[in-house]
Structure 1
Amino acid sequence: MAARLRLPLRVVHASLWEHYEGSMPSFTSRRPAEEVAAQHIVASSEQRARQLSPDTQVNAVTVPDDAVDALVEESRGAAALVTGSSGRGAVKGLLLGSVSLAVAGSCRLCPVVVVRGEERNIKGMSNRVVVGVGEADEAATAVRFALREAEARGCELQAVRAWRAPQQPTDPLIVLDSAARAYEEQAAAVLDEVLEEAVAEHPQVSVRRTVLEGPAADADLLVLGTTRRQGQFGLQLGRVSYTARHRAACPVAVVPHR
């Protein structure tokens, strides 16, 4: 992402060993194992980043703080915050690590991208960014982020607005069909409203509008908007964002509405 957008990359490893070690007397000249491990992680990550993108400015640091607190603080002034998906074992495809989930649910200042899914999606082989369009007054920031990503990747943007027909119509043959058409037309109108201004700012991006009843198609990145409620604490992920974070087969970006 940093290389595509020609931005500097800051690699952060949060570790509390400095806090605990600094408060205890030292009885040996040997460096603590935690310090050695933290410095190895930072050095190897920086080397890997430079190998992948020699032209990108890379700064790697170890921060003496809790991982979630450190990453949320690092998000101040960042274009995006990127974390891995660290589920383990038989439920790896369903669960996020606690750090990824907490950061995604609490970061208010910039988009949070969780890198997960199949290798072909992570490597950008689908040639498509998908943005889920929610309510018109909350979707603009997510749409602009998705357009920027699609432009940087040189790929198509698929804007998706999902709808649901009534589950228990009084007349299954007539009411369901007419209601479905009404829901579909309403969803299409929301798409047009949200996309009109943003698409004009990125005329080189091919945008495909999709109104459907069901999940979005395969993608290299799924972008979803979310609203952080002032005065509320804890995780603030809507049902769609929460489910996508756990089950999507590609990287997921949650973009706070501004």
Structure 2
Amino acid sequence: MIHTLTPEQQAYALAVLALLGMGCLTLAAHLRTRWLERFGVGFLPAHVVTMAVLCGCGLLLLGPAGILTSSIGATLLAVPLGLAGGVAVIWADGAILRGLSGRRGGNTRRRAVRGGGEGVHRVRPVPLGDQAARRRTIGIFKVTGSFAPSAEDYRVGLGWLLGVAVLEEIVFRGLLIRLTQLLPEGTQWLGAVAVTVLFALTHVFFGWDQVLAKLPLAAVALGLALTTGAVLAPALAHALFNLHVWRCQRLAPDLPRTRQVLR
């Protein structure tokens, strides 16, 4: 007789939903690289479709309450709160990246002075998506160097970027936060913090600078979701941020894209 932890099938379904939700970007990268790239499918379309399927399954399991719907008053507040949150995220993301870039530049100049100027010649910017940059990422990507999305994968139409923004909010601030509410009393906040950090860590493909820079987006989106009881406000904030990124890419298409904001 096979022993099972619980006869409740929904518990296993929720566990699978949590695992796939936490690793949806990596799952899309593997699906695209292993099977879809040969058909000309880009990374973002694969990511959008993967998240759409995951969101559909999650909504069937959990229902739309607290994810897509909330009170009328909260829904009316979602638009101004979401737009204000998006502006705050744009400022915070840029400030963190500028600060890290300035600190790195200062360290480089100090090393150059101590080393007689040799440090200047050793510093070479690595464009996002370069194969060397891929090999410096972590985990299985350090071994294969073939699954990390490149910069070119993200230079797509605005519609895909907006789709990613909305679907990521449904996954991270909708489904996963809803799952944390099923945890024992007193540990739910730990689950929310873990989801927030995990969202930032999904940007490790682009370097640790991007992980730090995405913490404000994750924190603001979580606050908006908990305040309004749905993902409309965080989705608006994320969409505004992605719109800003898309606009910056179009205004400066020829500038080096070293660790640029991409999502």
Q: Which has the higher helix share?
A: 2
By relative contact order (CA 8 Å, sep 6+), the higher-ranking structure is 2
Higher strand share goes to which structure? 1
Task: Give yes or no for TM over 0.5.
Answer: no
For the superposition of Structure 1 and Structure 2, which TM-score range results when normalised by the shorter chain?
Answer: under 0.3
TM-score normalised per structure 2: 0.21
- Higher-Rg member (1/2): 1
